[in-house]
Amino acid sequence: MEAGRVKFIMKITIKKTDYQKIFEHAMKELPNEACGLIAGTDGPDGVRMITKVYLLTNTDHTNEHFSIDPREQLASIKDMRANGIVPLGNWHSHPESPSRPSEEDKRLANDSRASYLILSLEDSKNPVLNAFHVEGPEDGRTVRKEELVITED
């Protein structure tokens, strides 16, 4: 692996109860986007395991974008450190659009190590959660879909 390069994440796992927490928070926040952080561990085999999700406040209170409350973000990072887990990325909902990064999502994806989970509620009876990796210069970001597996608890 080159210096400064992130190892290739082949798969991300999330427990069904954590997925359910994200879904319920996103539904509660409608019609606005909901947001939060994901944390856990990176395995040596390229499997990223989400062991905790953080349900945070979208301070923008809009259905088109989100900003995470900085105090909540700091408290989450402190909790991660106290529990021996690392930040893996963030999640947010798309109340009215598909589960893929918007142009704004790509523009704001500034951490090439992060996984970005997007929950589409375009059809709330059939929600879609996908994970993405975004890297490259702002004027030419590359988006790669990551395999996301929802596991039993």
Dump pLDDT digits (tens) for 94-133.
Answer: 999 999 999 999 988 888 889 999 999 999 999 999 999 9
Assigned domain for 6 exists: no
Which residues constitute the domain of residue 69? Answer: 11-151
Calpha distance 98→101 (Å, rounded) = 9
Assigned domain for 74 exists: yes
Contact 60, 66 (CB under 8 A): yes
Q: What is the pTM of this model?
A: 0.91
pLDDT, position 43 = 85
pLDDT at 11 over 70: yes
pLDDT at 84 over 50: yes
Specify the CATH number for the domain of residue 68. Answer: 3.40.140.10
Assigned domain for 4 exists: no
Exposure on the CB side of residue 116, measured as CA atoms within 13 A: 25
- 4's CB contacts (< 8 A; 6+ apart) are none
Assigned domain for 64 exists: yes
pLDDT, position 2 = 36
**120 or 64: whose pLDDT is higher?**
120
Assigned domain for 2 exists: no
Number of H helices, E strands in the chain: 3, 7
Contact 11, 51 (CB under 8 A): no
Q: How many domains is the chain partitioned into structurally? A: 1
Assigned domain for 5 exists: no
Assigned domain for 3 exists: no
Calpha distance 36→87 (Å, rounded) = 11
Assigned domain for 93 exists: yes
